Structure 1
Amino acid sequence: MKIERRTLRSEVEHRSAGSGRRLIIGYAYKFRSLSQDLGGFREQIIEGSSRQSIAKDDVRALFNHDPNFVLGRNRAGTLRMAEDSTGLHYEVDADERISYVRDLLLSLERGDISQSSFGFRVKLDGQEWSVSDDGSTPLRSITQMTLVDVSVVTYPAYLNSESAAA
């Protein structure tokens, strides 16, 4: 089964969760933003596309989509996600007892890493194809997906994504 991953850049709120707890926050995608060229096509995510998945699926927060670097998990209560008017917002409890989390927080604070991505599977009939505004590039619109992960990444597919330490 092939898992697709997309990364993007977005506006991010900076806040702390109280009691000294650190957070990693951002948007996994923004609605109707165009991806970079994904090999002969571009892509956009449509409002509501992951709403069902957020409510029922087991999703991880990862670093660079690597399952060896788990930052949080929704079923453990350490990852929280919601679709808002902008896109898929996520918030991860950053446990600084984990060495790679400390390293990632430093890279986020320095601005060396600042973007996001997401891994997903398109549901049956969960995509539509058209042509982008340039009139020649195929455009894939994702309307229904199963989320697998949200990731803080070095190289995003969506340049308008953003991740930050809070």
Structure 2
Amino acid sequence: MQDARFEDGREAPLNLGALDDEDLKVLSALAQDAIFPANEMKWLAKERRFALLVNRFRWEDLQAAERLGRRVERVQSLLVIDNVLKVASQGVERSDEDMILSILSVGFEPQEDGAGYVVLTLAGDGGIRLSVEALEVTLKDVTRPYLAPSKHTPSHDD
């Protein structure tokens, strides 16, 4: 038996879930450099759900795009965190409709009995910290991919 290779994957929308730290690392890598307007965040307190509509860079397609000489892509995705008890943010002005935020990482700080904090680290020293009863995060593509307007792969070189 041979392990699956990345190249063996099929072109399909992402629909990933993370229930532990290892799953979240994969989801975080795919959500890195997703951008969204500050007003595309929604906390549904009664449902204990926090959701973001993001424009995700398609990291999973980068090698194919380079190999085929085509432009890189983005796709609109829903990033949903469930079991949310409390939301706090720093460096985020939700009332500023022109504020565009960029996700650097999605992490988890465990506490007792499976509870903890989901932390969205944002570019520019911003962040969102969600107190959760249990880790449950999903990332789901909701549109077809489109050519990245910048035509460039995100870079973190200084």
TM-score with structure 2 length normalisation?
0.29
TM-score by length of 1: 0.28
